[in-house]
């Protein structure tokens, strides 16, 4: 079974601080995604990547950066965290158009 | 742009009731359609998918039929169990841009 691992599982950050969420996949998938999940909004796409060195903006990229240094790793970076970024973040990987996504277990982020 | 609409935000049923969760989509061409299920504390996982008009996807007693005419992919189950309590997401993957679009999710609670 394909594996996507996120770290940390829980994170408490202070307003204005820098936060990095990490994601590792062992599926050898080209595509990776970062979503945030909020009540009433479902899953919203923040950034995605088609391969090492590439990052693309999703539907809600403001306040977030992404980094894809290798096929396996995809990070989400909050340079100046704000309370509105308190959420659960999910990383996913996928093989391409029409292929399923495999999700990690999520990172619960609280910005105080 | 592409989008997915789930009508029901929350559904409460008794065991052995019939379940319908409505999903309509907007996309060009022939997207692949998915149903995902998410249990508490976990990431979404694939329930099943369909990629052609009139194709039926099914798993664990759940089923949905791809209907290009009505742009729908409604989830149904004849007799729900308490263990089916979860959040259900309808999603589509377009053929061109390799992006995934999720509905806002439907929280199903089955009362024993």
Q: Which secondary-structure segment (H or E) carries A82? A: none
* Segment A60-112, tens digit of pLDDT: 999 999 999 999 999 999 999 999 999 999 999 998 778 899 999 999 999 99
Chain B nearest CA to A70, separation (Å): 19
Chain A nearest CA to B28, separation (Å): 14
Look at A103 and B100 and tell me if their CB atoms are within 8 Å.
no
Beta bridge partners of B25: B4
Report the residue of A3, A40, A43, A102 to disrupt the B interface, i.e. the one with the largest count of B CBs within 10 Å. A43
* Segment B61-103, tens digit of pLDDT: 999 999 999 999 999 999 999 999 999 999 999 876 667 889 9
At residue A84, φ and ψ (nearest 5 deg) are -70, -10
Contacts of B34 in chain A (CB under 8 A): 100
Contacts of A98 in chain B (CB under 8 A): 32, 51, 93, 95
In this predicted structure, what is the pLDDT of residue B81? 97
Of the two residues A97 and B31, the one the predictor is more confident about is: B31
In this predicted structure, what is the pLDDT of residue A1? 63
């Amino acid at each position: 079974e394909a594996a996507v691992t996120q770290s940390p599982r829980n994170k408490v950050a202070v307003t204005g601080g820098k936060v990095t969420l990490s994601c590792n996949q062992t599926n050898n998938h080209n595509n990776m995604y970062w979503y945030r999940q909020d009540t009433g909004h479902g899953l919203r796409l923040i950034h995605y990547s088609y391969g090492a060195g590439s990052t693309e903006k999703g539907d809600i990229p403001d306040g977030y950066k992404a980094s894809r240094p290798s096929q396996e790793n995809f990070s989400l970076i909050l340079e100046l965290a704000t309370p509105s970024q308190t959420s659960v973040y999910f990383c996913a990987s996928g093989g391409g158009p029409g292929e399923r996504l495999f999700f990690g277990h999520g990172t619960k982020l609280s910005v105080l | 742009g592409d989008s997915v609409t789930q009508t029901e935000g929350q559904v409460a049923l008794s065991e052995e009731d019939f379940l319908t969760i409505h999903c309509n989509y907007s996309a060009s061409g022939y997207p692949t359609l998915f149903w995902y299920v998410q249990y508490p504390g976990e990431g979404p996982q694939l329930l099943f998918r369909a990629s052609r008009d009139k194709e039926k996807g099914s798993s664990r007693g759940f089923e949905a039929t791809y209907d290009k005419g009505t742009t729908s992919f409604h989830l149904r189950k004849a007799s729900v169990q308490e263990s089916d309590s979860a959040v259900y997401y309808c999603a589509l993957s377009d053929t061109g841009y390799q992006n995934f679009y999720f509905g806002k999710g439907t929280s199903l609670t089955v009362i024993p």
